[in-house]
């Protein structure tokens, strides 16, 4: 912004100039080992079979009761058997997650973009953002239920409150990565502030934005399920409390399995987006 009167100095790599590699950027998107052959696939599957089979065997040999830990086979059976009953609840949870996340992400992104343009404003709001990030939004759910009842509303608000600050704080880190040489390049062609934002700042921030969206979505999922457990008669979280109160442990674990799958899908989704659009980072 005030780049005009800075002493031009480019050769040094500074923190935030896009050169550094940290845990929070998408270095994970660039590679990982990658599976190379059928033999590797076979080995991975064999290990999985041994682990799952071993658990099954151990639980049966030691006669562990179902209410403590059901064997994998009965969880799998419960998953297939109960799925038609669980499916609508998966749908409810997804509705809460997607709408709450969309609201939180949009508000978080806009706020990050605006706030980073005004360093002074950023200093003023920083403590509140920190409070929003660190407070478990689940704590507010009873209050939200009192105010909004047992429907979607309190849950969607809780998801948005959980996801928004995560998106915002990461996106703000991204927008703060000012590379004065790249901005100077754009200015040398007479770029407007808006063009600099869309053509330089936004793409530079994209890897961090994606990290924020991924963390926000996973926090959103946690909060949605937690909120469902607090109150209201629907959603996967409600299934968890209901199955556990009736000691239907295979069904309980079937829901847990669905939730972990959901979490993995969120990760994979953002991983693929990152690989496609942000792999230039490394």
List residues near another protein by CB under 8 A.
4-11, 18, 181-182, 184-191, 195, 199-200, 203-204, 206, 277-278, 280-281
**DSSP per-residue codes, the chain:** --GGGSPP--SS--TTSS----TTSTHHHH-SS----HHHHHHHHHHHHHHHHHHHHHHHHTT--TTT---HHHHHHHHHHHHHHHHHHHHHHHHHHHHHHHHHHHHHHHHHHHHTT-HHHHHHHHHHHHHHHHS-GGGGHHHHHHHHTTSHHHHHHHHHHHHHHHHHHHHHHHHT---HHHHHHHHHTT--HHHHIIIIIHHHHHHHHHHHHHHHHHHHHHHHHHHHHHS-S-SHHHHHHHHHHTT-HHHHHHHHHHHHHHHHHHHHHHHHHHHHHSGGG-
The residue among 155 and 182 lying less far from another protein, judged by its C-beta, is: 182
Q: Minimum distance between the CB of residue 115 and another protein, rounded to whole angstroms?
A: 23
- Least Å distance between CB 174 and another protein? 13
- Give the whole-angstrom CA distance, residue 135 versus residue 7: 41
Q: Is the Cβ of residue 12 or residue 63 nearer to another protein in the bound state?
A: 12
Question: Rounded to the nearest whole angstrom, what is the least distance from the CB of residue 24 to another protein in the complex?
Answer: 18
Compare residues 176 and 187 and give the one whose CB is closer to another protein: 187
Measured CA distances, 5 to 180, 193, 232 (Å) = 12, 17, 58
* 30 C-beta neighbours (distance < 10 Å), count: 15
In the bound complex, what is the minimum distance in angstroms from residue 277's beta carbon to another protein? 8
Cβ closer to another protein: 5 or 38? 5
Q: Which residue has the tokens 């080992």?
A: 33
From the CB of 8, what's the least distance to another protein, in Å?
5
Q: Which is nearer to another protein, 89 or 177 (CB)?
A: 177
Shortest CA distance to 97 belongs to which of 274, 263, 268, 271? 263
Which of 8/33 has CB closer to another protein? 8
Residue with Cβ nearer another protein (86 or 183): 183
Instruction: For the CB of residue 259, give the shortest distance to another protein in the complex, in Å.
Output: 35
Query: By C-beta, is 7 or 61 nearer to another protein?
Result: 7
Find the shortest distance in angstroms from Cβ 14 to another protein: 14
Q: CB 181 → another protein: shortest distance, Å?
A: 5
């Amino acid at each position: 912004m005030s780049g005009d009167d800075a002493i031009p100095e480019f050769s040094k790599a500074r923190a935030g100039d896009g050169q550094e590699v940290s845990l929070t950027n998408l270095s994970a998107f660039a590679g990982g080992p990658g599976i190379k052959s059928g033999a590797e696939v076979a080995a991975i599957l064999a290990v999985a079979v041994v682990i799952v089979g071993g658990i099954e065997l151990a639980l049966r040999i030691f006669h562990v009761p179902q209410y403590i830990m059901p064997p994998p086979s009965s969880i799998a059976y419960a998953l297939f058997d109960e799925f038609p009953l669980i499916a609508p609840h998966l749908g409810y949870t997804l509705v809460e997650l997607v709408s709450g996340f969309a609201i939180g992400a949009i508000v978080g992104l806009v706020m990050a973009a605006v706030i980073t343009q005004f360093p002074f404003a950023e200093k003023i709001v920083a403590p509140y953002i920190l409070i929003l990030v660190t407070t478990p939004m689940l704590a507010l759910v009873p209050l939200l239920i009192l105010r909004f009842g047992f429907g979607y509303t309190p849950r969607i608000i809780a998801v948005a409150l959980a996801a928004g600050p995560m998106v915002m704080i990461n996106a703000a880190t991204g927008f703060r990565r000012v590379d004065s040489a790249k901005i100077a390049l754009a200015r040398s062609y007479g770029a407007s502030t808006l063009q600099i934002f869309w053509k330089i700042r936004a793409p530079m921030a994209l890897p961090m934005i994606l990290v924020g969206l991924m963390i926000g979505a996973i926090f959103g999922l946690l909060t949605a399920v937690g909120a469902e457990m607090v109150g209201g008669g629907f959603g996967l979280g409600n299934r968890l409390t209901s199955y556990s109160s009736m000691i239907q442990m295979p069904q309980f674990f079937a829901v847990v399995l669905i939730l972990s799958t959901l979490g993995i899908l969120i990760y994979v989704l953002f991983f693929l987006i990152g690989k496609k659009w942000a792999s230039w980072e490394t």
